[in-house]
Structure 1
């Protein structure tokens, strides 16, 4: 008992010199400047579990990004609020608050059917600090939008706007949706950060993640981060939802019932083995409420804070879905690095040696390279990434226990049974920005007149669960146990190109004027769709919206 009291005293009494314990935003464009500053620093930081906590890094962003930000006293109030500062700032000795409106007011047109497309987003961000140990953040966005034809088809099928929650009909072809997020961050000592709230996370160093990404909607979470020099350990507990449950079970009056819950417990151990090599181990387990024949809620067995939950899961008669993975990053120099991931859902070494394409050999990998200041041109970056995931990875016999949330994958937007090549070129000059993104993907999806799961849609059962439970809309299972090949099913090909030009207005909210040109070509064995579009307008580019699938 005395030892425990001493340990707690040690944790909460460690001297504090940093007081911003809120997070950097996940948005890729926003994170561009953050990562470049970290990469050029000789100190070995752990940056593969995102969002990053500000107090872990000596980065005063966006101050110092532009010379006029540090010369606010020479500017008028209107100029400062529009280009340099938050709209509302309140500073006292023991606390401070920052608040700004955020927007996505864009207008455009899709060439197909000459359809007008637009996004009308209004919202706010509020964050601040209380004393030296507590920070907080809150955000809300109200949206109405008309999307490109392929996105409308996705939303009509899944009932969610990609990554942004439940969609309601708005006028003829539009959608209305809202997004709220927030958290409290507590740093009792330099060793620990505790966060709880409603949001997203991303594991990895690439554009995509095969372990955990911000592809799906926000979820309630508890995050505990432990920092011990070259070792960085993160526990993440989350509550997820299966919003297709009622349709699957033919339950009426769904508007009067809450969506069924399922839970996730994840561990992430990051090790800086050498000055330029980081190796990380990932583990995640999904379990659902009311697992027959018992009646389960949050299973306290999975509160174990130590990595490797598989023995615990096995001791519970193996009812749940466990994934393990690796993340590696090799820093070539202070401007470039190579990275990779490996995800294992189920795996049989004997069947792999027999080369019999066993269905339960469910795995995927990622290989990537990223470099800043290419050709010695400051504020440029080039990234190339290859992703490969076998059929049925992330899926489960009971789809309620798949690696998904709110009708979307917690990892890659394409689900499984795919390969993908991503290349991104960025350039910034003062407030001007340029980005060219190109994606080529190939995957095997389902046929419209066939209930067989070919391993792409993780919300379809991998077995006969629908038949045994009298359910619908989750397929009739896999076609066989062996001979499961990549791209089996409805062979689909995707080619996506997007070109963005931007002018940064306010770096605190990453408010930009953006002109975007895009082309998406999709073809499978049943149909073909070409979407050419352009949009322009004002956007607070703080969050990732993945429409490139």
Structure 2
């Protein structure tokens, strides 16, 4: 059965997707404009649809998410006008195949007023997608970028060597960074119940702005995703290869620059159940284990290819030293487009110590609670989100830092790591082709001190205990076993405010004119840092980017 749906495009293009089973694109801004209500806010539980594991592999979503909100607009007969405002550039369509290709554009200029620094981003790229027959679909994209960022971003990139979520940062003219990323996948619709996806990309679990389970905060990674759908259940297996870009260099291994990056693996299970037409409950588990980079390390362990949920017995049976996490995701629909949602993540947990209230370091957990709604009044739409996130020190971290819950120098969950709390307020107002967005984040966390070797639980790349690296260096880990309080370390407060106004040029590709301002204030024992950053430009707004930390 063929479905019509929109996926992406750019530059000055647009396109309707003809593939049978391609991913519904993960970018929030794109779909929030396309649909009468954001796809992630729509009352989908009444139709037994599952929306918490993203990107969504399309299955019955066309009646909700894939409606063209501007399809009734009159079509212009001039070719150039249509290509710029209404249509895609290239479509090749046969009886049993289709291929679409489009460019990606982002040309943005700005200024950091506090640092008196001009900024810019220049992105060129493409996407190609389509289907072959009734059971195979594909997608690929590439982006090449040069950017000069505001100071707080510049300092973060120098420290981590990556542009958040977008790849390795190389020097650009001494003032900026050159970086690139590619992604792609092939989906095989094997039967009514099973879909197999091989790809290079990222994922997001949850209904909120952040995810404590698995986020698209990081760079892309190769993966195999198996999706099983039956009754009111959707069950997802995700197997991925991750990279630690610091391991060889930090351990003084000879010729490390010729060895690539150290590899580790992730095996995840996600069981989503629509208990009622309003309540969705989902269980999550994942394990991280490393390749054999040193004697005594297991390397690739086929035991973790077990496709059935409950990996903890497998871990016990092989006396595993690996990093195991479990979680819960909830969504309750109060009424149409009005929902409560939440998450719980458990790394390690001792109920006895929790009852004693002794702040045991091994009680590593976090939770999220949120509320969102989407009012639709004629051609106007107002969406609101309030979200609170809380994560205890050392959550996601590990005795061996290479087995942390991270990839490519960034957390696989929340960009702040651990030992933090966060309150988020977001509003989005849309009227015809105009869009106004406001965002306020209040963040509080306990960072490490620059002149101290002790880990206070915020940085996932520090050992949770006294860990000796292969080169003999020792990471000293936590300061104590008990009395591990929230925000221990260098208490840091961040207030982040952002305002954007956009005009959608091409509604199908989310190609837009954009004007925005960011105000960021950080304060801790090292002093105060402020950023006021204005920017404007044109862009194909298809990808989530997290610069709010």
Normalising by structure 1, what TM-score? 0.93
Q: Is 1:39 paired with 2:42? A: yes
* 2-structure distance, mates of 1:292, 1:316: 19
2:427 is matched with 425
Deviations 1:241-283 (A, max 9, x none): 0001123202353331111100000000000011100000000
2:12 is matched with none
2:13 is matched with none
Range with greater deviation from structure 2 (75-84 or 369-378): 369-378
* 2-structure distance, mates of 1:418, 1:547: 17
1:275 is matched with 277
Deviations 1:212-239 (A, max 9, x none): 0000100000000011121110000000
- What is the CA-CA distance between 1:314 and the residue it aligns to? 1.3
1:415 is matched with 417
* 1-structure distance, mates of 2:60, 2:267: 24
- What is the CA-CA distance between 1:296 and the residue it aligns to? 3.7
Counterparts of 1:244-259 in structure 2, within 5 Å, are 244-259=246-261
2:14 is matched with none
- Kept in 1, the 8 Å contact 2:379–2:431? The answer is no
1:3 is matched with none
- Kept in 1, the 8 Å contact 2:119–2:147? The answer is yes
Question: What are the ranges of 5 or more consecutive residues in structure 1 without an aligned counterpart?
Answer: 1-15
Question: What are the ranges of 5 or more consecutive residues in structure 2 without an aligned counterpart?
Answer: 4-18
- Kept in 2, the 8 Å contact 1:62–1:507? The answer is no
* 2-structure distance, mates of 1:267, 1:20: 25
Range with greater deviation from structure 2 (433-442 or 371-380): 371-380
1:465 is matched with 467
- Kept in 2, the 8 Å contact 1:374–1:382? The answer is no
Cα RMSD, aligned residues only: 1.8
Q: Describe the shift of the 1:471–1:218 C-alpha distance in structure 2 as closer, same or farther (beyond 3 A).
A: farther
The secondary structure found in structure 2 opposite 1:449 is coil
- What is the CA-CA distance between 1:91 and the residue it aligns to? 1.0
- What is the CA-CA distance between 1:61 and the residue it aligns to? 6.1
Q: Describe the shift of the 1:59–1:512 C-alpha distance in structure 2 as closer, same or farther (beyond 3 A).
A: farther
Say which of 103, 106, 109 aligns to 2:111. Answer: 109
- Kept in 1, the 8 Å contact 2:112–2:533? The answer is yes
Counterparts of 1:486-525 in structure 2, within 5 Å, are 486-525=486-525
* 2-structure distance, mates of 1:407, 1:505: 36
* 2-structure distance, mates of 1:230, 1:62: 22
Deviations 1:23-78 (A, max 9, x none): 12211212324563572454131100000122341248665211456x54x43211
Say which of 57, 70, 76 aligns to 1:53. Answer: 57
The secondary structure found in structure 2 opposite 1:55 is coil
- Kept in 2, the 8 Å contact 1:268–1:280? The answer is yes
Name whichever structure is richer in helix by fraction: 1
The secondary structure found in structure 2 opposite 1:112 is coil
- What is the CA-CA distance between 1:380 and the residue it aligns to? 1.2
1:149 is matched with 151
1:359 is matched with 361
- What is the CA-CA distance between 1:376 and the residue it aligns to? 8.8
1:181 is matched with 183
Counterparts of 1:22-421 in structure 2, within 5 Å, are 22-32=22-32, 33-34=34-35, 36=38, 39-40=42-43, 42-59=46-63, 64-68=68-72, 71-72=74-75, 74-290=76-292, 293-294=295-296, 296-373=298-375, 378-421=380-423
Deviations 1:82-121 (A, max 9, x none): 1112211111111001111111110000012310001000
* 2-structure distance, mates of 1:255, 1:221: 25
The secondary structure found in structure 1 opposite 2:157 is helix
Deviations 1:459-487 (A, max 9, x none): 00011113x64455x84210000000000
1:7 is matched with none
The secondary structure found in structure 2 opposite 1:274 is coil
- Kept in 2, the 8 Å contact 1:394–1:416? The answer is yes
* 2-structure distance, mates of 1:209, 1:48: 10
The secondary structure found in structure 1 opposite 2:316 is helix
The secondary structure found in structure 2 opposite 1:113 is coil
Range with greater deviation from structure 2 (421-430 or 75-84): 75-84
1:8 is matched with none
- Kept in 1, the 8 Å contact 2:115–2:151? The answer is no
Aligned residue pairs total 530
- Kept in 2, the 8 Å contact 1:62–1:508? The answer is no
- Kept in 2, the 8 Å contact 1:102–1:122? The answer is yes
* 2-structure distance, mates of 1:124, 1:382: 32
- Kept in 1, the 8 Å contact 2:111–2:535? The answer is yes
1:10 is matched with none
* 2-structure distance, mates of 1:274, 1:155: 45
* 2-structure distance, mates of 1:376, 1:478: 56
- Kept in 1, the 8 Å contact 2:105–2:125? The answer is yes
